[in-house]
A and B are shown apart, each in its own frame.
Chain A
């Protein structure tokens, strides 16, 4: 694991599929150890943006800089946590989580040890030998979080990580993520369409309009953590939420 979390910057990204422009000159930056949330309507191109940042697809134009370098390898250096958990069905939970350190170059025993520790940390001790389909959605997503943590990249791209979960599990997982992020401080770009999730977790919230994705507003969340008192968000967040909602409306993202 490197000492310093890398900074991520996207400059003027353009990407289209056929005649459809998905990214049209999108720029954003995430400072080292910062969590930025990107909110926008469904289908605005957020997932495509994350694929481009992760190095899975090449943009038609524009560049992605890691710590200011455009030629830095990104596959394996930025860890993408997809909306579905993307756990391999034929591997046990332990096998899935240990995959991250294995692919990062660790030996089998070392990887298994790290995976066991991470699973215990996320409340999954005792479920090491279960296959993903035998676990609940929340447990699988915790497993995906453990795998992301063990990838050792310290730069996370989270693609609506809790989008497929019910409201209670979602709130639970959000707290797990908040705690994990506060101890590890990875550079994080969180894509979501849940304003509360964005405000409870991020240092800054960016707003994208409908497709093609462009940043139309930005809100700094200078509210100290933890941002929940009991089970309710801090009252300071209410004003910010209203402001975000207005920005989305002005961008034509909501009626």
Chain B
């Protein structure tokens, strides 16, 4: 099962770059990043197939955020928090968001590990306003998905995002985010 997550982490950015290449004629500004888990600047320990990546695509009207984060806490590890700050090419105003956030676990429950439990949030870095948030649990190898659809009574002026992930059970689990904002 672990190869599944490893492969997913490896290919997401490649895919998104490929997407950019094919959309070069369109008016898109994109930025992306990736990294490994470890003691600094994150508090989540590294493990097999752990890591994260993200991409932000800005078109004339929409801003799309795609991200994947894989965690593999060892048994007995404390809950951990991963925060990733993202500066975007152009500041924008967000009135609405739609898309999904999902949580997937890959192993059967064994020895106390194998379930999933996570919080995922996309926030406005400068103010802390939360654009989308989910808290999910998954038992054993499985995947669950949260559709996101919301509008903001007061539109948010955004110059930078923050991905915030928190995981509190051991074993491999992956969080996927795909959100369109306008």
**Are A and B genuine complex partners?**
no
- Chain A residues proximal to chain B, CB less than 8 Å: none
